[in-house]
Amino acid sequence: MSKIHRRDVLKLGAGLSGAFLVENLSGCGNQTPADPGAVGGAGGTGGGAGGLVDAGGTLDASGMIDGAADAASPGDAGATADARDASDATSETASKPDGDGSSSDDAGKDTDAKPEDAPTGTADTGPTLMTRTPASIVKARRDELDIELRVLSGRLPTDLTGHAFMIAALPWGDGTLMVNGDGIMYRLDFGGATVPLKSRHAKTPCYYADHASTGTANAFKNAGLVRFSPTLGTRNEANTAFVRMKDRLLITFDAGRPHEIDPTTLDVVTPVGAVSEWKRSIPELFLPGPLAISMSGAHPFFDENTGELFAVNYGTAIPGSVPFTDIVRWDGQGKLERWSVVLSGGATAEIKQSMHQIGVSQDYLVLMDCAFAIAPLQFLIPNAPSVAPSPDSVIYIVKRADLKAGSTTVTAKKLVIPREGAHFTLDYENPSGLITMHFGHNDGADPAEWLRIDDVRSDNGAAVRSDLLGMLVTTSDVNSMGRYTIDGEAGTLLDTTLVHDMDATWLPAIYTHRGSMTPGRFEDIYWVSLGYTAELLTKRVYDLYANYPYRKVPLASLPTTPKQGTLFRLDVVTMKIADAYRVPAGRILSSPQFVPRAGKTGTREGYLVCSMVSDDLSWPSSSGDEFWIFDAANLAQGPLCRLAHPDLDLGFTLHTTWMDAIAKRTATYRIPVRDDFAAGLATQTQEIKTLFENEVFPHFP
């Protein structure tokens, strides 16, 4: 990477152009994709007060901490996007979500009164960069850090408190999908004049086995989505998400059981559930060894009201195995409870792709077959043929009251929602059995696809960039944000509202909201989209979506210039993108985390802390990878503050959480790791037994 010295200010003007489409379809029932009328279907409290410390430690009354001395002065830098005007919106039915078809200068904007002490002023976002994907997104240093982040530009709000957690995968650097890598956790500690950052690897038992076996016949290797050893089994890289259980914290992975960490040290303390309490998802015939693969989904749900953790354990149909889908419930102390999910006729509620996330409301659980098209061969062959995800989302609805002690099965209702996706959430309240589902669709996209060494671009046939091998493939269509009303008792779809924006909703990836648990009724959900660029759309994936049934943008009409990623607030009451910030070129923004402002309770009264990755080396105090802080009530103005450090080297960060305070773990739950693997090691060679005895067990007393 060459060092850039120009500090040109990126000015893309005010406002995102493009149509903002609202599709509101009521009573669409269970229409199928073949029905032309079905195309509209679905397819973590802090203290502190005002006062400002500037770079020299001087206090003023603005509630912010000034940037460092080497920062350029804040101005209109950055690419901003004003809230959409209602005149840009069109409706496909007689009524819009806001009830009329009129346009207004204030429509779609945040009409809440802004607090008098709300932060003002923005950070200089840096020089104009080339409109290209930063190569550093697929690379990251493995160092564990204990550093103090510096305010590079802008001001640090003094009412930004508590602890923000972020997790990522450390890419192996061999062209494997970049989210296949050792997990690394980052914690940012707010509340002072500086921001300490701590990072630690997610050191699960298999982490130690992997690194100890390097260079031996037991060594692990990458095979597409997974990392495995021919003798030891598969890795649980624990690199995807957090689950906050009040003062306790779990880290998760799609293909392994959760692990609990100590929030203060970030040390892995214990797995959740013994090996014997989780079913093996792929027969030992194919993936032998004591480290079994147990598909579990990366987003278990902790209900703060009842103290229950809900997770899943499933296996898809592959030779030599019978598919299963189980709900797992845990009280935080005892053994896991589980129920096999079946349909009314007794057949298994089968997951044919993957289950990345589950949703929980007061009375229901919603399980979804997600748009991660994981073909069984991908576990065994690094470049197995690609398969397109189903264009529809199959969900299974289970009543919580039916999860009875002593029973081994529970009956679910099956519902098909048009359009695919991976991330969704539910309102916690479900009055009269009505479930409200909020969905970020991945229309025409598969998050399990990546740039491979033999890939070519779909637009010009040129080889993909060699410095981006392992990067996620982009979407083949603009994506939709959906809100659905579901009759939980009948298992029917009652109402659908879809929105998409020709600038903002290209590959919505990760969301956040106020609180560690879903609210009774959502008002605002914050999303970050990754955008669209032809350099990330391969011919292989392009061809998979040639006949995509819900296409909005014809393949031949896909943008010829990149669509930048966007941080936006979706008002889920009106189903309008009410506020948005377009990410400047050459940068990737990810992992938004809502942090409430001290003493405030509103869904916009807080800050968004995001990671930002770039190849920009023009700032002496920055590696090009940073954390940007936004006012949740005014995203369009750009970041308030940039935090950086020369040693900070981020890859593609994923999910986040927030805790108002942290303390050393006091819970007594612990799975003895030596006992846990005793049965699995009994039939192994003495070499493998010695490896575990010397390299794994000493780390887990």
Residues in the chain, total: 701
Q: Which two tokens stand for residue 306?
A: 């009842």
Predicted local confidence at residue 598, as pLDDT: 87
What mean pLDDT is reported for the chain? 85
Tell me what percent of the residues of the chain surpass a pLDDT of 70. 81
The closest alpha carbon to 169, from 220, 110, 238, belongs to 238
Decide which of 620 and 573 is more confident.
Answer: 573
Side-chain-facing half-sphere of 391: CA atoms under 13 Å: 20
Predicted local confidence at residue 382, as pLDDT: 57
pLDDT at 597 exceeding the cut of 90: yes
Predicted local confidence at residue 379, as pLDDT: 57
Residue 146 and residue 279: Cα distance in Å, rounded?
38
Helices H / strands E in the chain, number of each:
5, 38
Tens of pLDDT, residue by residue over 213-252, are: 999 999 999 988 889 999 999 999 999 999 999 999 999 9
**Which 3-state string (H, E, C) describes 36-69?**
HHHCCCCCCCCCCCCCEECCCCCEECCCEEECCC
**What is each CA distance from 597 to 600, 631, 659, in whole angstroms?**
6, 10, 13
- Lowest average pLDDT, out of 82-96, 150-164, 292-306, goes to 82-96
Please return the burial class of 135, using the count of CB atoms within 10 Å of its CB with bins 0-12, 13-18 and 19+. Answer: middle
Contact 358, 312 (CB under 8 A): yes
Beta strand residue intervals within 662-701, DSSP E: none
Residue 615 and residue 584: Cα distance in Å, rounded?
13
Residue 366 and residue 376: Cα distance in Å, rounded?
24
Predicted local confidence at residue 336, as pLDDT: 98
CB atoms within 10 A of CB 345: 6
pLDDT at 28 exceeding the cut of 70: no
Q: Where do we find the tokens 């899943």?
A: 312
Decide which of 188 and 117 is more confident.
Answer: 188
pLDDT at 670 exceeding the cut of 80: yes
Residue 252 and residue 254: Cα distance in Å, rounded?
7
Tens of pLDDT, residue by residue over 199-218, are: 999 999 999 999 999 999 99
Predicted local confidence at residue 170, as pLDDT: 97
Tens of pLDDT, residue by residue over 414-444, are: 999 999 999 999 999 999 999 999 999 999 9
Sign of torsion over alpha carbons 367, 372, 373, 377: negative
Side-chain-facing half-sphere of 330: CA atoms under 13 Å: 25
pLDDT at 166 exceeding the cut of 80: yes
Tens of pLDDT, residue by residue over 519-546, are: 999 999 999 999 999 999 999 999 999 9
Strands 146-157 and 641-644, by their bridges, are antiparallel
pLDDT at 504 exceeding the cut of 80: yes
Tens of pLDDT, residue by residue over 673-687, are: 999 999 999 999 999
Decide which of 56 and 185 is more confident.
Answer: 185
Averaged pLDDT, 679-696: 97
Q: Is 78 left (phi over 0), alpha (psi -120 to 50) or beta?
A: left
Tens of pLDDT, residue by residue over 71-90, are: 333 333 333 333 333 223 32
Tens of pLDDT, residue by residue over 443-453, are: 999 999 999 99
Q: Which domains does the chain have, with CATH numbers?
A: 20-30+71-82+172-658+670-699 (2.130.10.10)
Q: Which two tokens stand for residue 58?
A: 């001087």
Beta strand residue intervals within 172-275, DSSP E: 181-190, 195-201, 221-223, 226-229, 233-234, 241-245, 248-253, 256-261, 268-271
pLDDT at 5 exceeding the cut of 50: no
Q: Is 433 left (phi over 0), alpha (psi -120 to 50) or beta?
A: left
The closest alpha carbon to 676, from 302, 257, 329, 265, belongs to 257
Predicted local confidence at residue 576, as pLDDT: 97
Contact 41, 110 (CB under 8 A): no
Averaged pLDDT, 114-141: 81
Residue 422 and residue 276: Cα distance in Å, rounded?
29
**What is each CA distance from 206 to 203, 230, 280, in whole angstroms?**
8, 14, 16
pLDDT at 377 exceeding the cut of 50: yes
Q: Is 422 left (phi over 0), alpha (psi -120 to 50) or beta?
A: alpha
Predicted local confidence at residue 25, as pLDDT: 38
What would the DSSP string read from start to end of 480-493?
A: -EEEEEEETTTTEE
Q: 154 has which bridge partners?
A: 641
Averaged pLDDT, 40-51: 31
Q: What is the pTM of this model?
A: 0.86
pLDDT at 110 exceeding the cut of 60: no
